[in-house]
Chain A
């Protein structure tokens, strides 16, 4: 019987990143998946990135992950959202050719030392709350020091086409019922749901009447390492629902899995089904639909914006009421999927379950949604497994909430849990101005090493860091008085303060020419943009740091052993919330909605008094 360091169950985005990084850190790794063809499958929309999602993906990228690199290799259309708002919220989004993506992932994993096991895991082996290995249908028992479970939407998965129900993890895949038994027995789980739209044959769409959305391939890619994208780039198209569509849907809400009450679990507010949109925003004359090609050689189109769980005849009827889709033919209808996910508060901060040592959970099973969110967790869990098993050199402070989106995600999940599938938004990060996609090499710098990058990549980062520090050094040595700046047509306060070049940078229009004439330093645009925004946001970094430190003080106030019920002065609502969220410290308690300062005050009092009596 093989003996692994790490077994990863599930080869979605969480599983692939976990297996990859675990292997890179020198752990003997196996990846179990039901079907080889599922490797890195994009279960839903054929795109990677977007605001918030790119942010996580770029962190995975700089930690040695694959999602961005392979994403760029398979991309056939780019857009950068928020381009005018600065790199802190740039959201590169790439349309991905599904087949290319799967092909590249498979090739990549096969070329690594990871053992791929095509099998179904049916049980987790443990003794005295310590992991022993995994049991599979065909391979039987496999031993390992750690297990990372990334089974996505498969646990007790059910899919709904309108009122028709099937047991499945997603279309075409059986649900994992055996494994679900172990999980439900050992952990607190909940039922969540999500949905996906129908897939339409591209030949049946009348593109002539639709507005095209061309690719904006402007040199901003998913991966830090990508120099260019050589694939043919193709258009997406935009169309809209109309009053007729709305009427059809409204008249048939009783034929929707979600609206007829068949599905009771929690859906996502920010991925609403078309039924939701029409019920909540019925006054709109139309909702946008983005027609996204599934690949260069695919004859399918993904109509983004109309995920639903209506009976299939109704789906066809409403589709054909939409401009350009009047004669559309459907390959596969939209459906909703409902599945078990684990309450992420069952996890320690390192994503190991509190109950079973060396058992890690990552991805959608933790109550999240999205490929990038899954990838971020996969890499995070595997790094932590490597830290534990091999004591690798890794500074985990980079995962502080104020230094990374992965940190924000981990903190939110393990502290607050979820009530609906969790997706990343940049506004979740208090320190948004610092957590930028263009500076991830800086934020994760201490952990960048030769193990996880090849030579070219490693030199690229080193060179980048060197160039930057040289330029910063020069800028710091240049001095400008308000008078000097006046002469150069820059308005600053006449405060007599002499500013260095770095401080002055924020007053310039950040073009290479400007930079050259003003400072007499040559620079490339990418670096210029980065240091320009560093200069601009500097004051906020300081402020943020102070308030973070302040908050950290509250973090030291441990609430673990407090029985809130013993503080009768707390109102019923507040007690309920505290008991639900079980904050570990005062800082976390303060983050719970509706908890008032006076409630915090009472908790502190209670704790102090108890403490006094003990002393």
Chain B
């Protein structure tokens, strides 16, 4: 087993929230649990227990859920425990402090990605799978999320590149045979080149398809703009279902841009709250407003909010500032307080979130900018880089008339595949040669 001390880390953000989770992995897990709870966990594999945790001085740290996974049946393959503290950063800091006070040699905070790394080292996950985990975490598209999940749960062989690897080995075998076993079978240079062409064509095709798919991003970016104090931050908080933006009756409350993701109707959005527009902006406010303007290129749709006090001129300059053409909806706020004559969408803060979002036709907006159908992506970013790299050889091979040079370049391609999928050595190639061709006398 791979060993280099026990590591711990929080796996939820250290912010006020219902729970803050910690994971601990390594040889000393049982000892730590014993010290924390005065109980022996060694027979409690994979069972959730609600139990009191104690600080060094004997006082209670928290009462919470703890799960212990016995090696090797854990994520990392080592002994692991997961602790779900009450979601106070204060408790979290006491928890870390307590761990430190145990003075267990080698116990330390995990580095970024170290749990996944250990899972690879202990053969719980392949390198590709570990990469897939990282991709899942940093993913904003449902389609590649599915692909990465597949890689993770089913292993390397689901990678679409495995079949390309086979083709590369086949092609190289034929080239090899045509040189080393000329008098055993008939070989034809043109046929080999044609095969190479098909190989590169496939690489190219996959890449093209995948790239197009990546353009069909799955996240729809929307921005709330409008004069100061019209209720942008109120709407923002409603959309994301959290009190994130500060809402006051003071004009110019929001200065910097805030953004957050939310899911509605199975679709993913990112919403930006901005500093309000007014003729006399403060210095910080102005910087914030500028920043929002710069972001505008990435935005799919704008909601221009206004209330009874907003003027047409203001709306006009907003549109101009943000370079808005057709991608906007005019929204009138505080409809509980004021009567409007226009046909614009009207909302107010007493409405339920869902009803606000439907009034804003937010699902339709998603449809308009983001491909509705979630297609299945076959490759993740790493694999795309890999393919791009392979395609760099295309020109050199297809324009070469010396089969030996072609063979030499093909060898580089196989080396690249080796690196991703395990070594391909001469014997593997000969296996292919001798099963595909009748070689020898």
Contact = CB atoms under 8 A, between A and B. Distances in A.
Interface string B1-23: 11110000000000000000000
Contacts of A602: 2, 121
Contacts of B354: none
A280 B411 CA distance: 28
Given A86-B402, A426-B180, A595 B430 contact: no
Contact of A594 (B403, B422, B439, B441): B422
B409 to A, nearest CB: 9
A284 B121 contact: no
A591 B179 contact: no
Contact of B438 (A287, A540, A567, A568): A287
Given A281-B438, A426-B179, A592-B423, A598 B120 contact: yes
Interface in A279-311: 280-281, 284, 287, 290, 304-305, 307
A597 B127 contact: yes
A590 B425 CA distance: 9
A88 B167 CA distance: 26
A281 B121 CA distance: 43
Contacts of A537: 405
B388 interface: no
Contact of B423 (A271, A304, A427, A596): A596
B434 interface: yes
A433 B403 CA distance: 11
B425 A592 contact: yes
A280 B429 CA distance: 18
Nearest to A430: B411
Given A425-B180, A593-B428, A594-B422, A609 B3 contact: yes
Nearest to B405: A540
Interface in A33-85: 45, 51-52, 81-82, 85
Interface centre among B122, B127, B180, B408 (most CB of A within 10 A): B180
Interface string B394-405: 000000001111
Given A270-B439, A428-B426, A602-B2, A540 B408 contact: yes
B404 A86 contact: yes
B440 A268 contact: yes
A91 B411 CA distance: 22
B441 A305 contact: yes
A269 interface: yes
A571 B407 contact: no
Contacts of A281: 438
Contact of B404 (A85, A307, A569, A596): A85
A49 to B, nearest CB: 12
Interface string A581-615: 00000000011111111100110011001000000
Nearest to B426: A428
A304 B441 contact: yes
Interface string B416-441: 00110111111111100011001111
Contacts of B1: 568-569
B438 A427 contact: no
Given A269-B434, A536-B402, A85 B77 contact: no
Interface in A398-434: 425-428, 430, 432-433
Interface in A179-200: none
Interface string A548-577: 000000000000000000011111000000
Given A269-B430, A602-B2, A595 B438 contact: no
A594 B179 contact: no
A272 interface: yes
Contact of A432 (B121, B123, B404, B430): B404
A204 B373 CA distance: 77
Interface string A230-268: 000000000000000000000000000000000000001
Q: How large is the interface on A (under 10, 10 to 19, 20 to 34, 35 or more residues)?
A: 35 or more
Given A270-B440, A427-B407, A596 B180 contact: no
Contacts of B179: 51, 82, 85, 89, 426-427
A146 B411 CA distance: 41
A593 B426 CA distance: 8
B438 A284 contact: yes
B351 interface: no
A177 B288 CA distance: 93
A270 B404 contact: no
Contacts of B180: 51-52, 89, 425-427
A271 B429 contact: no
A433 B441 contact: no
Given A81-B183, A433-B408, A594-B423, A570 B123 contact: yes
Contacts of B438: 272, 277, 280-281, 284, 287
A593 B439 CA distance: 22
Contacts of A593: 423-425, 427-428
Contacts of A605: 2, 121
A602 B419 CA distance: 15
Interface in B122-153: 122-123, 126-127
List 7 tightest A-B contacts by C-beta distance, closest first.
A596-B422, A270-B440, A269-B434, A425-B180, A305-B441, A281-B438, A598-B127
Interface of B: 1-4, 77, 120-123, 126-127, 176, 179-183, 402-405, 407-408, 411, 418-419, 421-430, 434-435, 438-441
18 contacts: A51-B179, A81-B182, A81-B183, A269-B440, A270-B181, A280-B435, A284-B438, A427-B407, A428-B426, A433-B405, A536-B402, A540-B405, A569-B121, A570-B123, A590-B423, A593-B427, A598-B120, A609-B3
Given A272-B439, A606-B2, 4 more contacts: A82-B179, A269-B430, A537-B405, A593-B427
